Amino acid sequence: MMNLDIQRLSDENRYLIDGFSCVETDEMLSGLNAKERRRIRKHSQDMEDFLRDEAYEDQEKGLSRTYLFVNDGKLVAYLALCNDAIRLEFEERDDMELPYITVPAVKVARLAVSADCQGKGIGKEALQFAIYVSQMIKDYSGVVFLTLDCYEHRVGYYERFGFQRNLYQPVVLDYDSPVSMRLWIDEYLAEKSDEITE
Ligand SMILES: CC(C)(COP(=O)(O)OP(=O)(O)OC[C@H]1O[C@@H](n2cnc3c(N)ncnc32)[C@H](O)[C@@H]1OP(=O)(O)O)[C@@H](O)C(=O)NCCC(=O)NCCS
């Protein structure tokens, strides 16, 4: 496993962003048609642009907090977190015995791993770090879920981690619109602890 140093984005480490690229190569997307490849690359490009152009300012404004994952002095991934609240449908609340329609969460606003380091477990580590941060916030304020919005081609990745689609999805007209997902943090941690004791 890669040795990762997790740093909060700051004036001192901003220079690490230069040269970060999470856009997939042709080889990584082989098997997909040209239109699909273009679509996926565009979304990955947006992740790259956010880090370069918006992450620092957003953080200054208190809109999100960005973490850099550094290996051997090189930026290999970043994660931006913010606070969130999601609306649950009756059957979802009933299952979880939650009395409120709107439930507090921490949101993975952005997550990207550099193209040459994808598939090595870094995305998973970043999500585990997001859970760790959520647990710290939970000491001071309410947090039930880790949430995110992702495009259809990433849904399987997040489902494998334990996320599920929210029944309530914002109404959008674009065919390629993000899917709203949630992970129940307590359930995730209980399952992990069972795995460890088994
Ligand atoms: C999506 C992303 C964050 C995942 O991070 P990563 O470090 O590459 O992923 P990990 O190494 O943690 O996990 C890889 C595993 O997920 C699996 N996986 C990847 N995509 C999957 C999918 N759509 N469905 C199911 N499994 C998937 C891989 O097969 C691999 O399985 P393995 O561990 O058994 O080998 C990364 O690929 C990335 O940054 N992509 C470009 C930007 C982007 O799309 N960001 C997310 C926006 S929502």
Residue 48 belongs to domain with CATH number: 3.40.630.30
pLDDT at residue number 172 = 73
DSSP 16: G
From the CB of 154, is ligand 1 less than 6 Å away?
yes
Write out pLDDT tens, residues 55-87. 999 999 999 999 999 999 999 999 999 999 999
Taking the centre of ligand 1 as the mean of its atom positions, its distance from the CA of residue 122, in whole angstroms, is: 9
Q: Which atom of ligand 1 is nearest to the CA of 178?
A: 48
Number of domains in the chain: 1
CA distance 78 to 76: 7
Q: How far is CA 65 from CA 102, 108, 157, 165, in A?
A: 23, 10, 23, 24
pLDDT beneath 50, residues of the chain: none
> pTM for the whole thing?
0.95
Per-residue pLDDT tens digits for 11-33: 999 999 999 999 999 899 998 99
Mutate to test the pocket of ligand 1, among 110, 154, 155, 161 (most ligand atoms within 8 A of CB): 154
Closest CA to 183 of 127, 133, 126: 127
Owning domain of residue 25 = 5-197
Q: Angle at Cα 159 formed by Cα 8 and Cα 87, nearest 5°?
A: 80
Among 21, 54, 51, 41, CA closest to 176: 41
pLDDT at 76 (0 to 100): 98
Provide the pLDDT for residue 180: 96
